[in-house]
Amino acid sequence: MPPLASIVVLSWNGLQHLDTCLGSLCRQTLSDVELILVDNGSTDGTAEYVREHFPNVRIERVENNLGVPGGMNHGIRAARGTFIGILNNDTEIDPGWAEACVSALRNHPEAGAIASRVRLFWRRTHLDTAGDVFFSAGMVGKRGWLEADGPPFDHPAWVFSACAGAAFYRRQALDAAGLFDEDFEACIEDVDLSFRIQLAGWRCLYVPEAIVYHKLGATVGQGLARPEHQLRMHRNLWYMRIKDLPGSLWLRHLPEMLLAEALVLAASLRSGRIGVALRARGQVLRALPALLRKRRMIQRRRRAAPADIDAQIERGWIAHRRAEKRREATVSPTGP
């Protein structure tokens, strides 16, 4: 008989994180759950270590790194549960995390995805994310990024997206929306998936009792500032907009999106990264025929009305980004 839930941990050369991550997973209060580790082409002895120290964790070993969305898709396809959790390896999970997520999915049949209350591992009074945001300017952001955790985040809320570093999905919603888009390689693939889940007629629920601690940047190190990551950020935003945004919302929000595009390119020019931004847009243009084919399929299968999607889109991206920059100047995500 298949388990109620499956939890998939994706790991690439992350052996140093596994005692914390898998140890906390093994202490989950939800009993009817299978644990899967996708060893995504590691060369650090991950599979052998997990086999010896965590025998109740099933290993899905991939010889060649499939990338982030490819590795997660491999784990999802291997999972047998009705509900599927996805975790980064650089996390520590509260014992009640899986039970809170599964309970919310069972109590809210309209929910296809669950966003966790993700706190900073090294600064546990502050948040990494309490659900992700999509703005009318076509930009994405984190709800609660570097804010002090507290009452504003104590209640369930419908949000745009679940961060796939710590998320739960209803298998039925994944069957309807499809899995992670592997062309994204890494970055924004989770917002794209949540967008498609909404288009398929489901919603994303933030569950405050689903608590996870994240070693922010531990997996990629300084990679967030590297040109290849910045290129994927620029490119994947356009990939998602082209594929997912209904036509009427393109028309409604186009002025804001063009303003944001001008601001982003100007900022890239000032920072000396205009070459990266332009290369990303060149990749978008080359991928446009494939993106339009995906768009036709996604929009043809769309069940949600554009007004329902628009209700989850936030306004005020410029003010949001300014507030983030102020917090980034005063709050260290790696400790006091």
Distance CA 68, CA 80 (A): 20
Cβ-in-10-Å burial (0-12, 13-18, 19+) of 184 comes to buried
- The CATH code belonging to domain 1-336 is 3.90.550.10
Tokens 């507290």 sit at which residue?
A: 150
N-to-C CA span, the chain: 47
10-residue stretch averages of pLDDT, the chain, 336 residues long: 96 95 97 96 95 97 94 98 97 98 98 98 96 98 96 98 97 98 95 98 98 79 69 97 98 97 96 96 98 98 97 96 93 75
57, β-bridge pairs: 35
Structure confidence at residue 221 (pLDDT):
45
Domain limits of the chain? 1-336
Structure confidence at residue 217 (pLDDT):
67
Structure confidence at residue 335 (pLDDT):
63
Distance of CA 221 to the CA centre of its chain: 18
Pull the structure tokens for residue 142. Answer: 């984190």
- Residue 99: which of 23, 1, 25 has the closest Cα? 25
Q: What is the pTM of this model?
A: 0.95
Contacts of 273 (CB under 8 A, 6+ apart): 227, 230
Distance CA 308, CA 313 (A): 9
Element containing residue 132 per DSSP (H, E): strand 132-134
Pull the structure tokens for residue 37. Answer: 């580790």
